[in-house]
Amino acid sequence: MTAPLPQAEGIRPRVLVIMGVSGCGKTTVAEGLHNILGWPYQEGDLLHPKANVDKMAAGIPLTDDDRWPWLALCREWIDARIAEGGGGILTCSALKRSYRDVLRQGTDQVVFIYLKVPESVLQARLARRKGHYMPPSLLPSQLATLEEPAPDEHALVIDIESTVAEVIAATLGQLKYGLKN
């Protein structure tokens, strides 16, 4: 774990799940938060079973049955961070409330950070993205599956209409001042 930067002062360690559809900026935001907070970081896409990756690469949307084993691996990672008593940062689309329920089950140490991006911006980002197994053709299925976090889920909703630095600063501010410490 790297040492936190001064911007992290006053932020209680939690497990942050950076969520949203493909192309919303989960990895970029997670890496920025990791660099500032110094908390362990896990790219959720790397936890997908090979069958899921192959299916998405072929342009076939995942089903709930495809996602449950992946979500279980994400939850194992979360549990390990909580057991260590420190923070952690996980990228995970967490598109449905039922998926988020699995990830937060039995703990108040998980904070969802939903990166909300207009569809036109997502399409443009995915058209430019190189080297990712998920094709832009799957964006409509992700948007159809997405259930935005409800107010009772206490998720941070970050509208992505700003620079990455502004998004990270807004997220840190919400973590410091917008949540009960």
Three-state secondary structure readout of the chain: CCCCCHHHCCCCCCEEEEECCCCCCHHHHHHHHHHHHCCCEEEHHHHCCHHHHHHHHCCCCCCHHHHHHHHHHHHHHHHHHHHHCCCEEEECCCCCHHHHHHHHCCCCCEEEEEEECCHHHHHHHHHHCCCCCCCHHHHHHHHHHCCCCCHHHCCEEEECCCCHHHHHHHHHHHHHHHCCC
Tell me the mean pLDDT in the region 77-88. 94
Containing structural domain, residue 148: 21-176
Residue 125 lies in a domain: yes
- For residue 5, being part of any structural domain is answered with no
pLDDT of residue 4: 63
CB 91 within 8 A of CB 45: yes
Q: Does residue 6 belong to any structural domain of this protein?
A: no
pTM of the model: 0.88
Q: Would you say residue 155 lies in a domain?
A: yes
Residue 105 lies in a domain: yes
| Residue 91 lies inside a defined structural domain of this protein | yes
The pLDDT value recorded for residue 118 is 84
User: Domain holding 52: CATH number?
Assistant: 3.40.50.300
- How many structural domains is the chain composed of? 1
Task: Supply the mean pLDDT for the chain.
Answer: 87
Q: Considering the domain boundaries, does residue 13 fall inside one? A: no
**Confidence check: pLDDT of 181 > 50:** no
The whole-number average pLDDT for the span 129-157 is: 80
Percent of the chain whose predicted confidence (pLDDT) is above 70: 88
Single out the residue of 138, 122, 158 nearest to residue 17, CA to CA: 158
Q: What is the mean pLDDT of residues 156-175?
A: 85
Maximal C-alpha separation, the chain:
45
Whether 14 maps to a domain, the answer reads no
pLDDT score, position 1: 56
The torsion angle over the Cα atoms of residues 33, 111, 146 and 159, rounded to 10 degrees, is: -50
